[in-house]
A and B are shown apart, each in its own frame.
Chain A
Amino acid sequence: MSTVPVRLNVNGVKHTLEVEPRLLLVHALRDKLALTGTHVGCDTSNCGACTVHLNGEAVKSCTMLAVQADGEEVTTIEGLGTEDDLHPVQEAFWNNHGLQCGYCTPGMIMAGAALLAENPDPSETEVRHALEGNLCRCTGYHNIVKSILDAAGRSSSEVSA
């Protein structure tokens, strides 16, 4: 099957790839660009572990063809912040134990960061609904919600510990 060229601007770096049209964006990121922070957790667009930003909006990179991102800007977890310069949502996840096994975490952080970019002062309910496309099996979401509210400069109601 023939390949097609795809130009991607990923985390500020321009790439031109020759790919099969069926290549999913998540596999372009992981297998072609070695950006393995974006994960795959399901086959059906439910889990959100593959969430990246496409032109600043949260999308599921497992449900997009790489060719659909041709000419667009993609931000992955690796481009959000670094160890020495963490994004506030990353920092808040660390401070609030917002992760355990870490597998859903990049998707959660990207979803949280996209929410705050759009709505810098969300309520707890808004945070919970913003995460309805992201599954976590470890945390029960409590500390994830707390982390995102913390990144927004708010404390979660009724949060203990």
Chain B
Amino acid sequence: MSVAEQPSGNVGKVMRRKEDPPLITGKGRYVDDITLPGMLWASFVRSPEAHATITSIDTSAAAAREGITAVFTGADMTDVPAPLPMAWAPPGVQVNNPEHWALAKDAVKHVGDPVAVVIGEDRYAVQDAVEDVFVDYEPLPVVVDPEQAIAGEPFVHDSLGTNRVHEWSLAGGDVEAGFAEADVVVERRVVNHRIAGAPIECRGVIAEYRPGQLTLYSATQVPHFVRLFMALLLGIGEDRVRVIAPDVGGGFGQKLQVYGEELVACWASRRLGVPVKWTETRSENMSVAHQGRDQISRVRMGAKRDGTITAFHVKILADFGAYNMILTPLIPSLGAFVMGGCYKIPNVQTDIVGVFTNKCPTDAIRGAGRPEATQMIEVTLDQVAHELDMDPVEIRRRNFIPAEDFPAATATGVVYDSGNYDGTLDKLLEHVDVPAFRAEQEKLRSEGVYRGLGFCTWTEICGLAPSRVTGPAGVGVQAGLWESAMIRVHNTGAVTVYTGTSPHGQGLDTAFAQIVADKLGVDPAVVEVVHGDTAIGPEGRNTYGSRSLATGGEAVCKATDKVVEKVKQIVAAELEAAPEDIEVAGGKFSVKGSPDKGMALADVAGVAYIGAVPEGMEPGLEETNFYDPENFVFPFGAHACIVDVDAETGKVKVLRYVAVDDCGNPVNPLLIDGQIHGGVVHGIGQALYERVHYDADGQLVTGTFVDYALATAAELPNFETDRTITPSPVNSMGVKGVGEAGTIAASAAVTNAVIDALRPLGVDYINMPLTPMRVWEAINEGSAAS
């Protein structure tokens, strides 16, 4: 971090996290750590077939085993009136949405589809009993390849008579007119392969139904959404359902979902009258927790000889797997909103076709649509530069939306809140000496060492809100995406913040405490942040889409501002001054110019709770805010990656990764850098290591962490991070999101670096993942062609 100025308050300062003491001493509390009296265990019987009709299920042997309480199938759940939810209904667009039941009713549509649940006394007994449930399957034709699926039969869902899910477009300008103006047009078939969320904590639930009341512990990012749907699907008043997300071991979008296992556990607990726990295994997680990406796109970019981009047209075929989950078909559209990237492109069009296949469903995974968009833009742009014999840095500068244009409307009508793209690129180039690199690169090539430098300059859309845009009348999400906060100052002056967000590693306890502490003149240590329990605090919209600070943090600000207003009135009355003359300084609320005379928050709380408040004022000191922003926020940045490619084996090694990000005003730089590091590795992981792969029969080949390769510390370098600060005008803090930024940028930077390394060998494009064999093959093909 090179931002030298130390802020006067807590906001902007590096602070170690409030969350950490329990987590570093083994005292965290994740779902599997919780045991309830009388609790039984659940384990699921899952389909080994990718597509089949269920002809019979024999549960008798399993049910007869010692320690087994019950075995249920889909036929037992007749009192659940509706299938699992899908919450996207774009106006004017038909979305085919087949029924998706928590336990399969007549057929299975992908490997891992749940068929039955075994409930019994312990973790081990239920896993044994699962093997004694005998299911007869009548195999049906399987379709795995989305291009084959969209062409016709076999159908994943016969009742639909098609594998097509939907068609959706977003266009601005006239791309064909743009291509007519172009001197060069680059076309690419970009495959953005399927990846897993792979939080290290798998999913898990404990449902406890007691007459009239349901409590569900779930490793989820979205306890409020889960509560709503459990209430609707089980016919229990929403007020009687409590969902608790305790410590959650990472989400990455995978836990932004309403899962069938949650419903089954709740249903079974009600049926049996005891708590029911399910802990997912990694093998289950790899085959049934929703996955991400999986797009095949036809990409065209046109530019004039001077490098000016005239048109960008993307046709995406998005493989959604076997079912629509809560937001599945929406995900590619999130990329469409920023398909012009950080460039001023007059003609941009994105056409999306969704398709079903016999694979695990996809939905939001870190970045959700924007990494795919960035990959298409940035990799294609590099090729345009190459064909125009331009420097990749130069072509980016040529096309940046200028800083003076903000707020900037793009061709598609999306308005970017703020940006200074030259600023982040300038700062990046302070860290990366490009001329020196090129000289070194040239020298190394003569020695047979293939080193490459790749850039990615990007922006993205996040801070998911505002409701008027994202909601039913706009984009079509069947929910408002505002956020809430409640601030309670206790008798002693201690403060509790109740946030509707549901952090699971982001560090919001610390960030929100910093924000509130400054406004109330207290130490962040006395500000407790409470989240992840729908019984406590206001209704919330939870954590995803890099939204928690820009929406939830702003709600915290606004609620705290209300508290401050009340405090000022109380202090003004006590000190016989005007409320507008009261300020917070040095841990006290005092009259401007008389800092020694004032009241600490604890003193004010004392007055408020004794009831000695000014006439007409309510006692107490507690305020709530629901905040719905006017716009999204658009973080941006400039990343560079340097790799060595072993041209003999195709193995890629990341030598340096430099990330300059701008997420507006920093609240806690430590947390920002941490988010960038992790996000970047998710992107490097997709580029080099991670791939979900199904064979032609729909069998999952990458079903464990042996085959699904998450990078380890040994494969990675230290990261170099820096930032510029361009505040967002959307919220009072001037903040933007940062949770997905690294992931959105990194895969393109890595890909461009590898291509840069290998251009002398005739390589000008490789689809991810850039595995050693694939790179080796590309080198062979390139060498053969040139």
> Contact residues of A with B, CB < 8 Å?
20, 22-23, 27, 30-31, 34-44, 46-47, 49, 76-78, 80-83, 86, 90, 93-95, 97, 99-106, 109, 124, 127-129, 131-146, 156-161
> For window 153-203 of chain B, which residues contact chain A by CB distance below 8 Å?
198-202
User: Which residues of chain A are near B716, meaning CB under 8 Å?
Assistant: 128, 140-142
Report the Cα distance A97→B16, complex, angstroms. Answer: 7
Q: Counting chain B CB atoms within 10 Å of each CB, which of A34, A109, A143 scores highest? A: A143
Q: Counting chain A CB atoms within 10 Å of each CB, which of B25, B26, B199 scores highest? A: B26
> In the complex, are the beta carbons of B249 and A135 less than 8 A apart?
no
> In the complex, are the beta carbons of A140 and B198 less than 8 A apart?
no
- Assuming the A-B contacts A47-B705, A135-B200, are A100 and B678 also in contact, with contact meaning beta carbons closer than 8 angstroms in the complex? yes
**Residue in A closest to B281 when the chains form the complex, CB atoms:** A43
> In the complex, are the beta carbons of A78 and B671 less than 8 A apart?
no
Report the Cα distance A94→B2, complex, angstroms. Answer: 22
Instruction: Tell me whether B472 is interfacial, beta carbon within 8 Å.
Output: no
> In the complex, are the beta carbons of B718 and A94 less than 8 A apart?
no
> In the complex, are the beta carbons of A37 and B718 less than 8 A apart?
no
Instruction: Tell me whether B19 is interfacial, beta carbon within 8 Å.
Output: yes
Instruction: Tell me whether B23 is interfacial, beta carbon within 8 Å.
Output: yes
Instruction: Tell me whether B507 is interfacial, beta carbon within 8 Å.
Output: yes
Report the Cα distance A137→B200, complex, angstroms. Answer: 7
> In the complex, are the beta carbons of B123 and A103 less than 8 A apart?
no
Report the Cα distance A47→B201, complex, angstroms. Answer: 10
Instruction: Tell me whether B1 is interfacial, beta carbon within 8 Å.
Output: yes
* CB of A138, distance to nearest CB on chain B (Å): 5
Q: Counting chain A CB atoms within 10 Å of each CB, which of B28, B199, B722 scores highest? A: B28
- Assuming the A-B contacts A43-B704, A131-B714, are A97 and B720 also in contact, with contact meaning beta carbons closer than 8 angstroms in the complex? no
Beyond A86-B24, A101-B247, A137-B678: 18 further Cβ-contacts under 8 Å? A27-B123, A36-B30, A43-B704, A78-B26, A97-B671, A99-B24, A100-B507, A100-B678, A101-B504, A102-B19, A102-B24, A104-B249, A128-B712, A132-B713, A135-B705, A137-B198, A143-B674, A161-B721
**Residue in B closest to A108 when the chains form the complex, CB atoms:** B713
Q: Which 10 A-B pairs have the closest CB atoms?
A: A37-B26, A103-B249, A101-B505, A102-B23, A77-B26, A140-B677, A140-B681, A100-B505, A36-B33, A46-B705
Instruction: Tell me whether B72 is interfacial, beta carbon within 8 Å.
Output: no
> In the complex, are the beta carbons of A138 and B705 less than 8 A apart?
no
Contact pattern, B 26-51, Cβ under 8 Å of A = 1, otherwise 0: 11111011010000000000000000
Q: Counting chain A CB atoms within 10 Å of each CB, which of B33, B670, B678, B706 scores highest? A: B678
User: Which residues of chain B are near A20, meaning CB under 8 Å?
Assistant: 124
> In the complex, are the beta carbons of A161 and B673 less than 8 A apart?
yes
Report the Cα distance A44→B709, complex, angstroms. Answer: 12
Report the Cα distance A152→B571, complex, angstroms. Answer: 50
Report the Cα distance A93→B679, complex, angstroms. Answer: 19
> In the complex, are the beta carbons of B20 and A94 less than 8 A apart?
yes
> For window 254-284 of chain B, which residues contact chain A by CB distance below 8 Å?
281-283
> In the complex, are the beta carbons of A158 and B24 less than 8 A apart?
no
> In the complex, are the beta carbons of B124 and A90 less than 8 A apart?
no
> In the complex, are the beta carbons of A82 and B25 less than 8 A apart?
yes
Q: List 27 A-B contacts (CB under 8 A).
A: A36-B26, A37-B25, A39-B201, A43-B705, A44-B705, A46-B705, A47-B705, A81-B25, A93-B20, A97-B16, A97-B674, A100-B674, A101-B199, A101-B201, A101-B504, A102-B247, A102-B505, A103-B201, A124-B718, A128-B713, A136-B678, A137-B252, A141-B712, A142-B716, A143-B673, A160-B1, A161-B721
Contact pattern, B 770-782, Cβ under 8 Å of A = 1, otherwise 0: 0000000000000
Contact pattern, B 704-748, Cβ under 8 Å of A = 1, otherwise 0: 111000101110101111100000000000000000001000000
In the complex, which of the residues A27, A31, A83, A136 contacts B21, with contact meaning CB atoms closer than 8 Å? A83
User: Which residues of chain B are near A97, meaning CB under 8 Å?
Assistant: 16-17, 507, 670-671, 673-674
Q: Counting chain A CB atoms within 10 Å of each CB, which of B27, B199, B674 scores highest? A: B674
User: Which residues of chain B are near A78, meaning CB under 8 Å?
Assistant: 25-27
Query: How many residues of B are in contact with the other chain, CB < 8 A?
Result: 65
> In the complex, are the beta carbons of A161 and B27 less than 8 A apart?
no
> In the complex, are the beta carbons of A37 and B200 less than 8 A apart?
no
In the complex, which of the residues B16, B506, B719 contacts A94, with contact meaning CB atoms closer than 8 Å? B16
- Assuming the A-B contacts A41-B200, A141-B716, A145-B718, are A100 and B250 also in contact, with contact meaning beta carbons closer than 8 angstroms in the complex? yes
> In the complex, are the beta carbons of B250 and A128 less than 8 A apart?
no
- Assuming the A-B contacts A97-B670, A158-B718, are A105 and B24 also in contact, with contact meaning beta carbons closer than 8 angstroms in the complex? yes
- Assuming the A-B contacts A20-B124, A83-B25, are A158 and B720 also in contact, with contact meaning beta carbons closer than 8 angstroms in the complex? yes
Report the Cα distance A20→B504, complex, angstroms. Answer: 35
Report the Cα distance A83→B669, complex, angstroms. Answer: 25
> In the complex, are the beta carbons of B199 and A160 less than 8 A apart?
no
**Residue in A closest to B671 when the chains form the complex, CB atoms:** A97
> In the complex, are the beta carbons of B678 and A109 less than 8 A apart?
no
User: Which residues of chain B are near A95, meaning CB under 8 Å?
Assistant: 16
> In the complex, are the beta carbons of B505 and A44 less than 8 A apart?
no
Report the Cα distance A142→B711, complex, angstroms. Answer: 12
User: Which residues of chain A are near B250, meaning CB under 8 Å?
Assistant: 100-101, 103, 137-138
Report the Cα distance A144→B674, complex, angstroms. Answer: 10
User: Which residues of chain A are near B2, meaning CB under 8 Å?
Assistant: 160
**Residue in A closest to B659 when the chains form the complex, CB atoms:** A160
* CB of B45, distance to nearest CB on chain A (Å): 17
In the complex, which of the residues B26, B35, B682 contacts A106, with contact meaning CB atoms closer than 8 Å? B26
- Assuming the A-B contacts A144-B713, A160-B720, A161-B1, are A101 and B248 also in contact, with contact meaning beta carbons closer than 8 angstroms in the complex? yes
**Residue in A closest to B714 when the chains form the complex, CB atoms:** A132
In the complex, which of the residues A30, A41, A143 contacts B201, with contact meaning CB atoms closer than 8 Å? A41
User: Which residues of chain A are near B605, meaning CB under 8 Å?
Assistant: none
User: Which residues of chain A are near B124, meaning CB under 8 Å?
Assistant: 20, 22-23, 27
Report the Cα distance A49→B505, complex, angstroms. Answer: 16
